[in-house]
Structure 1
Amino acid sequence: MQMQVRRWKDVSRDEQQRFLKRSELDISNIQDSIQDILDKVRADGDTALRALTNKLDKVDLSSIPLRITDEEFAAAADALDPAVKEALDHAFDNVTRFHKGQVPAADTMMEIEPGIIVGERHTPIDSVGLYVPHGRGSFPSMVYMQSIPAKLAGVPRIVMVTPPGPDGRVDPAVLYAAAATGVDEVYRVGGPHAIAALAYGTETIARVDKIQGPGSMYVTAAKRLLVGTVDIGMPAGPSESIIIADRHADPYTVALDLIIEAEHGSDSSAILISTSEPVAEAVADILPDLIDEVEEPRKGFLQDVFGNYGGIFLAGDLYEAADIVNQFAPEHLQIRTSEPWATMRLIRNASEILLGSHIPFSIANYITGPNAILPTGGNARTYSALSVRDFIKYSSVVYLEPSGYDRVAGKVTTLADYEGFQTHAKAIRERNRSL
């Protein structure tokens, strides 16, 4: 395949919008079928889960328990390559160390004026369901990126669902990560039917208060249809990345990094924005050979991405490059400029910002510590990376001493009368008579 380098300002407005919108999900075409799945699970529980897993995933669970057993966890740990265990353990340590800094201190209280004590009390969400995808590969990293902050937040019940393999088993690295990082329950079920089980509950899987984790378009559609039934967490859809590169960037490593997130699937997005035409042209020359070296099916994913939601664009300067990024609000951003820290100050909207030539997206995805589960589809404008805070809720706390009550009671009756709330004001007037 051939790669074309274009100036962003010369791209039509409609095509710019196509890139900015990327492949974010329009569920209208699948909404009815997904709703049917949700309804079946709600009505028939475990029976529906087994039937849908057989129909949709081609896995027969008729003689296999939905919940992973202790023996399976032990067998997974024994079967796992020691090198994989060591790499996972290293990642666990760094992710734990980073997220410990997000754990809030003790409840905060302050005297906002004499006699009025206010503050916040934080408590963990009672139960959370973590979705770990499997369709395009095995993702133990998606386990510990979710379970570690949930555990640090103090969530009492952490549940994980993940699609089983053809034999009904769950990937050993996924089970090892779940056991090592404090997941309480793991179930061999995936897809929209797993999301329905977490939202509604079945005979085996008790419902949860919040669902977190990325998944396929069908999983994402199920979550959207369940808004109001359960907290569906951060919007995490198809992978997307942008690299900003100036004339100092090495074209070969830029090309290597540009295809990292694109191999997640045909619906991913990967864009290079360069202020240097020679660098951009060099990357365009290198990319086809790099793509040809990748094995299927990921080679096909890369070809699809750069034929649809990927591209190489020239910007007039770093200000224009940053403006494009801020419009896009990408999941992953890598800055390959001579002064990356200065360039970063131009960025307002990005879920993750990687600085310099030694931090490919893959290293950040696995082991540096910050969370790799990130908002996509432009949601970096208002959402942040998954954190301990996503598993905590806050309650406002107010205590009034008599002096504090006396300071504000009259003003509150004035405001209540103005807004027409009779019982608001009466509670104060009658209380005053009895004091």
Structure 2
Amino acid sequence: MEIISSQEDLSKVMERSKTDINDVIGTVQDIINNVKLKKNQALKEYTKKFDKVELNDFKVNHEEIKEAYENLDEKLINSLKLAIENIGQFHKLQIPKEWKVELKNGIEAGQIIRPINSVGCYIPGGRAVYPSTIIMTVVPAKIAGVERIVCCSPPQKNGKIADAILVAADLAGSDEIYKIGGSQAIAALAYGTETIKKVEKIVGPGNIFVTAAKKLVYGDTDIDFPAGPSEVLIIADRTANPNFIAHDILSQSEHDPNASCVLVTDDEDIAFKTKKEVELLCQKAERKDVINQSLKNHGKIILTKEIKESIEISNNYAPEHLIIITKDDEDVLKKIKNAGSIFLGNYSPVAAGDYGSGTNHVLPTAGGAAVYSGLSTESFLKKPTVQKITKEGLESLKDIIIPIAEYEGFYAHSNSVKSRLNDLNSNE
């Protein structure tokens, strides 16, 4: 990893590996159009072309799920159950409360909570198998009360979805599972086929083709947010453990050659010790090719003059994952404006949030944390407002509604109030 000064040009660090969908937008639009037109037939053609598998039936049946349980190690099954328990406990606390207030005599207003009816959860299956992502998408949807939860994931060479994904989907509460991947899966979820009914919202991470497809179908169906390659930024001072930092850097860089890992520190000793630890760990890492490419492309150590400057860089970067290892983590936390998920102290690795501490790992990347939050129970809820107005309450509003409505040229709006007030006066 290269050590640079905060006084140098940080624009390339800030840009990191932002996904540019313009390179694939035409291809993805063609795929979406074809799925809308040919439906199941298009899915079969694309599955054969991209996944090298011929399938006649995309839906996972009960026997396949049963077989997956039999094939999977019992220890892993128990780990998935414990993860679901922790994630469920956390996400239950995210359910907002319904409320109402009397604004003045005769005017009562409030907010109610309702789940969306259906959701499609996309689970990547390219470089690795991600049962954890199934849990992170399905569990909050289930807790929110979504009636129909659909999961899509690319088939393996044997024509099946990985056992761990099937078991995780079943344990988490998925209603339907389909062996479809890529932008064709997003199109099927958005518009439906003979086999798959369309959904109201699509969530979950994916590659550039999946990201492009989600952006293109947005409006016809809702999406969570665009998500690109994973990233971590670490704010550290002299109290941090360089070995721990190095492990966190490797754990993020092993995701993808385009993953971004940035250490921002005001301590020169921490900078150089971390660099050395990273180099030593890389030599024996299992995914060293991916890690080395990631660190070469987007791995940086930024040396600042003071912690205040480190915080400013982090807020401008708006990282997906932010680790804070400083003398006073809570004080630094108060100054953080933009981050997807935050980890405090030497003993809070990103891996905890990825798998089982309870928080969600489906998070905005590439600066998206400046405007988006990560996936949560609220991602699957709607908040309709409700009001009940008495005759007296409407009378008290007439001097607000009528002048403004008529100024805007909406006389029917004005008359909808006047007619009620006239009726009220005639009955007195």
Greater shift after overlay, 140-149 or 337-346? 337-346
1:390 to 354, 379, 383: 379
Q: How many residues are paired up? A: 424
Instruction: Let me know the Cα RMSD of the aligned residues.
Output: 1.2
Q: Give the Cα–Cα distance (whole angstroms) in 1 for the partners of residues 403 and 5 of structure 2.
A: 61
Where 1:342 maps in the other structure, the secondary structure is helix
TM-score (normalizing by structure 1):
0.95
Where 1:214 maps in the other structure, the secondary structure is coil
Aligned to 1:93: 85
1:82: how far off?
Answer: 0.9
Give 2:6's aligned amino acid: W
Aligned to 1:17: 11
1:324: how far off?
Answer: 0.4
1:79: how far off?
Answer: 1.4
Over 3 Å counting, the alpha-carbon distance change for 1:317 and 1:425 in structure 2 is same
Give 1:4's aligned amino acid: E
Q: Give the Cα–Cα distance (whole angstroms) in 2 for the partners of residues 252 and 432 of structure 1.
A: 74
Correspondence 1:289 to 2:280: yes
Q: Give the Cα–Cα distance (whole angstroms) in 2 for the partners of residues 299 and 223 of structure 1.
A: 31
Give 2:16's aligned amino acid: R
1:76: how far off?
Answer: 0.9
Q: Give the Cα–Cα distance (whole angstroms) in 1 for the partners of residues 202 and 112 of structure 2.
A: 23
Give 2:364's aligned amino acid: P
Within-5 A mapping of 1:268-307: 268-295=259-286, 298-307=287-296
Q: Give the Cα–Cα distance (whole angstroms) in 1 for the partners of residues 124 and 400 of structure 2.
A: 55
Correspondence 1:108 to 2:99: yes
Q: Give the Cα–Cα distance (whole angstroms) in 2 for the partners of residues 203 and 347 of structure 1.
A: 48
Where 2:31 maps in the other structure, the secondary structure is helix
CA offset digits 1:231-264 (Å, max 9, x no partner):
1212222100011111121211211111111111
Give 2:239's aligned amino acid: H
Correspondence 1:37 to 2:31: yes
Aligned structure 1 segments of 4 or more residues deviating by more than 6 angstroms: none
2:62 to 66, 70, 87: 70
Within-5 A mapping of 1:30-179: 30-62=24-56, 65-105=57-97, 107-179=98-170
Q: Give the Cα–Cα distance (whole angstroms) in 1 for the partners of residues 334 and 418 of structure 2.
A: 54
Q: Structure 2: any 5+ residue segments left out of the alignment?
A: none
1:196: how far off?
Answer: 0.4
Q: Give the Cα–Cα distance (whole angstroms) in 2 for the partners of residues 117 and 4 of structure 1.
A: 60
Indicate conservation of the 8 Å contact 2:271/2:303, yes or no.
Answer: yes
Indicate conservation of the 8 Å contact 2:119/2:146, yes or no.
Answer: yes
Aligned to 2:192: 201
CA offset digits 1:64-121 (Å, max 9, x no partner):
x20000111111112110110111111111001111111233x312111110111111
CA offset digits 1:393-429 (Å, max 9, x no partner):
1111111111111111243112212222111112222
Give 1:5's aligned amino acid: I
Q: Structure 1: any 5+ residue segments left out of the alignment?
A: none
Correspondence 1:249 to 2:240: yes
Where 2:387 maps in the other structure, the secondary structure is strand
Aligned to 1:414: 403
Q: Give the Cα–Cα distance (whole angstroms) in 1 for the partners of residues 302 and 395 of structure 2.
A: 65
Aligned to 2:370: 381
Q: Give the Cα–Cα distance (whole angstroms) in 2 for the partners of residues 307 and 117 of structure 1.
A: 60
Aligned to 2:298: 309
Indicate conservation of the 8 Å contact 2:253/2:290, yes or no.
Answer: yes
Greater shift after overlay, 276-285 or 421-430? 421-430
CA offset digits 1:43-74 (Å, max 9, x no partner):
10111001101101111214xx2000011111
Indicate conservation of the 8 Å contact 2:119/2:201, yes or no.
Answer: yes
Indicate conservation of the 8 Å contact 2:202/2:222, yes or no.
Answer: yes
Where 2:100 maps in the other structure, the secondary structure is strand
CA offset digits 1:136-166 (Å, max 9, x no partner):
1110100011111100100000000001110
1:202: how far off?
Answer: 0.4
Aligned to 1:7: 5
Indicate conservation of the 8 Å contact 2:282/2:291, yes or no.
Answer: yes
Greater shift after overlay, 327-336 or 404-413? 404-413
Aligned to 2:319: 330
1:365: how far off?
Answer: 0.8
